[in-house]
Amino acid sequence: MTNIPPAESAPEVEREAGGESSTDAESHAGGLLAFLRAQLGLEGPVSLRRQLLAVLRERGEAAKAFTEQEREMLLRVLRFGTLRIEDVMVPRADIVAIDERAPLAELLALFRAAGHSRIPVFRGTLDDPVGMAHIKDVLAWLTSEAAGAGDRPTGSANGDGSGNAERNGNGDENGGRAAPLELNLGCVDLSRPIASASVVREVLFVPPSMSAVDLFLRMQSTRIHLALVIDEYGGTDGLVSIEDLVEEVVGDIEDEHDEAMDAHIRLDPALGLVASARTPVSELETHLGLQLLDPEADEDIDTLGGLVFSLVNRVPVRGEIIPHPAGVEFEILDADPRRIKLLKIIRPKAAHDREASAARSDDERRAPATQGARENATADDTAPPPAAGGPAG
């Protein structure tokens, strides 16, 4: 019998005839729909990024697919893609750096005091950086100098030149192990300037508008893990380390040498509510349940110090009280001519109580005088009239 081939399906026949498939038609329809949305100003389809953000932020059934730690880290990863260097950098006022003309002893003391492994090195001012000093390079230099100072001629200590050292059967000293390195640290000249010790490495120079992701990739490729942020005039604006970038994704990283830092906002038994000037405004807003920043205000205001500065357009002096339109008052506890350091937050109720207390104090001060006047008036009204023929008063 002759086998009859099966009939071709309609879509296949249609494609062979040059017609459009259902998939092509749907694609064209989707393109036309997107064009009409764009022309009418309507919102397009939700992106995968927005869908993921919505799932991570909700607390419903879909959110149970992630643990709390996974959700937090995924949110940080998505946020990291939108950050710029100016969002994560250490501001210039907080940079710990050293002049290249300073002695090496001062550099070692600064490493110990700051607890950093990398310290920027500048020439004259921080606006003329020359690189950074790494603690590993400084230790390597110290070891090299101490080993060179401790070199001794080959032979025994008695100078007979016989070299009577204990050897094993193969003729190796110390049983085949390398001889311990003799270090004479007392002979190392730590008064030498940093520039003469060849311990300065190069750093990266980046603009504040650069994305955090781009800097992270650049640090990976160059193996330089410290960058100085340079403003449009060539001055140093801030500093970013690779640790700062990683912490934006995984949270704060503290090693064995990091000391526990005090909370930004704390309740002092004597002073009341106290906060560092570097406290984010959003943190205090959450703490007080108030809105302190106008949504249309300058986006550059991130910290309480910046907020207080914007209220008076200057650096306030210690002891000054700055009122806020929301009813909060800020008392300057510590400041220098360049920046605010520590603030006392006087809550709206506390401010009201203080005003009421001041009013009561004024009333109490006026009360004795008023009472005395009333008593004198009463005494005059009740005094008996002078006797007839007698002397008047």
State residue 167's pLDDT score.
44
In a domain, 60, yes or no: no
CA-closest candidate to residue 264, choices 251, 278, 252, 254: 278
In a domain, 361, yes or no: no
R_g (Cα) of the chain, nearest Å: 38
Cβ neighbours of residue 111 under 8 Å, at least 6 residues apart? 117, 119, 135, 138
- Give yes or no: residues 212 and 309 share one domain: no
- Give yes or no: residues 96 and 142 share one domain: yes
Average pLDDT over residues 308-333: 90
CATH number at residue 294: 3.30.465.10
Average pLDDT over residues 95-110: 94
- Give yes or no: residues 292 and 224 share one domain: no
Question: Given a cut of 80, is residue 315 above it in pLDDT?
Answer: yes
Question: Given a cut of 60, is residue 186 above it in pLDDT?
Answer: yes
State residue 93's pLDDT score.
83
Average pLDDT over residues 278-305: 80
Q: How confident is the model at residue 222 (pLDDT cuts 50, 70, 90)?
A: very high
State residue 367's pLDDT score.
61
In a domain, 175, yes or no: no
Q: Which of 227, 250, 273 is the last residue of a domain?
A: 250
In a domain, 357, yes or no: no
Alpha carbons 349 and 344: distance in angstroms, whole number: 14
- Give yes or no: residues 232 and 294 share one domain: no
Q: In 41-119, which ranges are continuous DSSP H helix? A: 48-57, 68-80, 85-88, 104-114
Q: Name the more confident of 268 and 11.
A: 268
Alpha carbons 86 and 212: distance in angstroms, whole number: 9
Average pLDDT over residues 264-272: 85
> Token pair of 3, please?
């086998």
In a domain, 76, yes or no: no
State residue 210's pLDDT score.
95
In a domain, 190, yes or no: yes
Question: Given a cut of 50, is residue 18 above it in pLDDT?
Answer: no
Q: Estimate to the nearest angstrom the gap between the alpha carbon of 364 and the chain centroid.
A: 49
- Give yes or no: residues 210 and 274 share one domain: no
In a domain, 259, yes or no: no
**Distances from the Cα of 219 to the Cαs of 119, 267, 288, in angstroms?**
17, 40, 40
| Structural domain harbouring 342 | 265-349
Average pLDDT over residues 157-177: 47
State residue 94's pLDDT score.
85
Percent above pLDDT 70 for the chain:
63
Q: Is the pTM of this model over 0.75?
A: no
CA-closest candidate to residue 91, choices 320, 300, 331: 300
In a domain, 45, yes or no: no
Percent above pLDDT 90 for the chain:
29
Alpha carbons 346 and 354: distance in angstroms, whole number: 9
Question: Given a cut of 70, is residue 331 above it in pLDDT?
Answer: yes
Q: What is the mean pLDDT of the chain?
A: 76
Q: How confident is the model at residue 15 (pLDDT cuts 50, 70, 90)?
A: very low
Q: Which of 224, 250, 276 is the last residue of a domain?
A: 250
- Give yes or no: residues 200 and 302 share one domain: no
Helix%, strand%, coil% for the chain, nearest 5: 40, 20, 40
Alpha carbons 333 and 317: distance in angstroms, whole number: 9
CA-closest candidate to residue 242, choices 216, 276, 279, 280: 216
